[in-house]
Structure 1
């Protein structure tokens, strides 16, 4: 996905060059976007102090369109001649070098993605997390939302159990996420890998000792962070030469599963679901059975990867009763662009080390203290004026979506606290809160989109807001009327066949008026039949 900041940087340098005479548009090949890009990249490398990575991230299609309009009239013929010259040279048997052909190929090509997919607000690109996204996103097919989710979740796990955010509600710094994308297109693994390239440098020992890729049962999860035997039992066993279990000192555990659908299936009717819910709350974990392990002060974070269908299949009424999945922030991911041959910038290693050093310092500072993370006055003001009423209103949501929208506030508090601690602060700033809201809002939009796409029948429509359902039905009606052409459709047909009894007669009349459709009466003798005709096919006397 082209980077807006990169585009603005390149544009600013080109305008400055045009002003001081170092950049002359008449010397740039405008026969194609590829030749324009090649010449501009060459000029930028020779005349502007901008990294090659920043230049590569610019939207050259947009720049090409804008600069093509700036060509003097006297030069337009020269452009046409340049194109003819290229064709003439090739037709004369000139063999282009491999380097020339490679230079003409675009480094990346933007992909539109599924219709109606949610978009992550740039406010979420905040602090060091935002800096990392700005740096790594132009050179990977991973969705920035997936990279960000992995960064937030993993850092929140590194922090440990003792940091609590004192906002409108008290929450531990612990962010659970599910990356949702289709196999091959979602690039879920690519997003995680890109984030881990930075995070492994923060603390490689953490990934060796505090991570797992699977969960089998509640008992198994507790065992991973279990307490040791009490002192008396240890002394007795040591005296008798028996095996001693000293337990696990570091109660941090990062579960990063690329086959999370398997884990989701295991939670139904087992001890795993209840233990996961207690783990999200930071409670002591205990199955209450003979010889069962106990885990006090656990700090377990989960990052899962699933497809849209796998996620939707678990959101049935029976599955939702325990409220396991609404503790996660669902994050839709889809590759933003194609990069056939990704290249790391020249300063890749140095920049990643710089990011890692800052995150390492922040994680150490956050993990060694237990003071609460508090909110600034500015953040409190924004929450009380704007966010509170918005998040309190779930009237347009059905029972499926309410499972997620009612969890917005605790997730907002957790994410805001994570943003603050990542930047080495114990106070949630206004910018932290805005970033957290952008992330949480994206997760809700992801849930709506995925469930609307993959839940069958009316369940999928039910996750939409009322205005979204209206817009969808209007679009369905408009399409049906266009297909019917001059013949049109009767109101009965529209109600029964087109909209499948979802709408009352007065609602259908409202849709007809909104679309500007025309009602035509037909029939000789008796009561005429009304036909609704799309405005493009309306008779002249009704137009």
Structure 2
């Protein structure tokens, strides 16, 4: 379905304050440094209705657009409810997406991404925000209680006499605290979360047994890379909890010291359209693949089933294939389509690929740009040669292509300077030299 055209906006030139050029240059360099650790994002992730909304609101937000998109995906999947779903083999999959937004303190702008998304969510359905969005995961029993049936009852109607509202969006801005709780002896939260991702039975057999046969839970989680790596154990990965999440590396997108957010009229207009699409999509049922999507799905089936990843990355992204179909299902439902089309799959696949690359940035490419730049800066004006960087910093164990890519990122971000030095005597090929100034390494 064609997306609505982006409205034209009149731009009136404003007086340029003193020092503006200097501020813009420094701000651009700071943003580039913050984003240097991110993998490459295919803009195809925004070729969908929610991507259109993000492109409307992100110019006035410092948040990473992919973080706003992921938050809206989680909201949409929860709000649509249990009726629209996809199938993977014999298993029905609810349209639940659990983004794990991974960004550095301050420069990750994770909170800003939720603020931008929540503003649109609130304008779309303020009652949902009040009754269906919460925080504070502590135990499996606590989550199960939210969906538990009363004693001696097969069902519990809402106050208006209709079926129970099973939709719940949990927003956790400090996921590290939840990770600590899950490690406590006897805490069943990991087990219950795995069941919740399936949209299934959260019943418990503890002393205070709870019968909770149905659920529809979405989670938006925020954490820093260092905290996640520090608190994650091999047992956590092997247990299967974290392959239910969609890891996404995020960072500061732009410096907007004077922004007051999106125009209220724009937010209201976008929210009205989103609300209509959610109402229409909620009436759909099983979303199969349209004929034009089947060739792409077969290609993605092979791509996402191929185990060529680092072991920890492979565990983290082992549910890439069902996630791709879930995300595509949300795109289709919001377009009012009873089947998933190739365009829906392509946008979903682009986000899943970015998630896989984000996991690699988290677990494999763990050399932060700031650490390398600081090491280069220690050499002062003498700088470091490419050979010194390859052997002295990386220990000779990192492919040259990966080192070259990181050096290019640092150079483009203004964190280091590439130059050359003629060999003693002036004969032979000049040596490539990298220098950095310590004051420029602030992140």
2:118 corresponds to which residue? 196
Deviations 1:404-455 (A, max 9, x none): 2321101111111111112222221111111101111111111111223559
| Equivalence for 1:14 | none
Mapped contact 1:382–1:430 kept (Cα < 8 A): yes
Matches within 5 A, 1:453-464: 454=366
Taking the aligned partners of 1:157 and 1:119, their CA distance within structure 2 comes to 28
Superposed CA RMSD: 3.5
- Structure 2 vs 1, CA of residues 138 and 170 (structure 1 numbering), >3 Å: closer, same or farther? same
Which structure has the higher relative contact order (CA within 8 Å, separation 6+)?
2
Structure 2 residue corresponding to 1:131, chosen from 36, 45, 52: 52
Change (3 A) 1:368 1:454: same
Q: Quote the Cα distance in structure 1 between the aligned partners of 2:208 and 2:142.
A: 13
Question: What's the counterpart of residue 445 of structure 1?
Answer: 357
Equivalent pairs, count = 379
| Cross-structure match for 2:434 | none
Matched, 1:398 2:277: no
- Which residue number in structure 2 is paired with residue 374 of structure 1? 288
- 100, 117, 120: which one aligns with 1:178: 100
Match of 1:263 in 2: 178
CA distance in 2, matches of 1:538, 1:393: 51
Aligned pair partner of 2:61 in 140, 143, 148: 140
The answer on whether the counterparts of 2:300 and 2:321 sit within 8 Å (CA) in structure 1 is: no
Asked whether the 8 Å contact 1:179–1:330 carries over to 2, the reply is: yes
Per the TM alignment, residue 400 of structure 1 is displaced from its structure 2 partner at its CA by 0.4
Cα shift at 1:147 = 0.3
* 2:127 corresponding residue in structure 1: 205
Query: How far apart in 2 are the matches of 1:281 and 1:536?
Result: 63
Partner of 1:276: 193
User: Does the Cα contact within 8 Å between 1:375 and 1:428 map onto a contact in 2?
Assistant: yes
SS in 2 for 1:215: coil
Secondary structure of residue in 2 paired with 1:178 = strand
Distance 2:19 2:334 in 1: 41
TM-score (norm 1): 0.63
Give the equivalent residue in structure 2 for 1:230.
152
Would you say the 8 A contact 1:225–1:252 is kept in 2? Answer: no
> Tell me, which stretches of 5 or more residues in structure 1 are unaligned?
1-8, 10-48, 57-98, 235-245, 457-477, 512-533
SS, match of residue 271 in structure 2? helix
Q: Secondary structure at the match of 1:425?
A: coil
Cα offset, 1:130, TM superposition: 1.7
Q: Which residue of 2 aligns with 1:71?
A: none
Q: Larger % of helix: which?
A: 1
Structure 2: runs of 5 or more not aligned: 1-5, 369-382, 403-419, 430-443
Structure 1 residue 126: deviation in Å?
A: 2.3
The 5 A counterparts of 1:246-325 are: 249-268=164-183, 269=185, 270-325=187-242
Q: CA deviation at 1:189?
A: 0.6
Q: Helix, strand or coil: the match of 1:52?
A: coil
Could you list the per-position Cα deviations for residues 69-90 of structure 1 after superposition, in whole angstroms to 9, with x for gaps in the alignment?
A: xxxxxxxxxxxxxxxxxxxxxx
User: Where does residue 215 of structure 1 map in the other structure?
Assistant: 137
Report the Cα distance in structure 1 between the residues aligned to 2:66 and 2:216, rounded to whole angstroms: 24
Residues 480 and 170 of structure 1, relative CA distance in 2, 3 Å threshold? farther
Residue in structure 1 matched with residue 328 of structure 2 by the alignment: 416
User: Where does residue 409 of structure 2 map in the other structure?
Assistant: none
- Highest CA radius of gyration, 1 or 2? 1
CA displacement, residues 238-263 of structure 1 (integer Å, 9 cap, x when unaligned):
xxxxxxxx9x9211111001111111
1:78-157 equivalences in 2 (<5 Å): 100-102=15-17, 105=20, 110=28, 111-112=31-32, 113-157=34-78
- 1:213-270: CA deviation from partner (whole Å, max 9, x where unpaired): 1111000000112112234999xxxxxxxxxxx9x92111110011111111212242
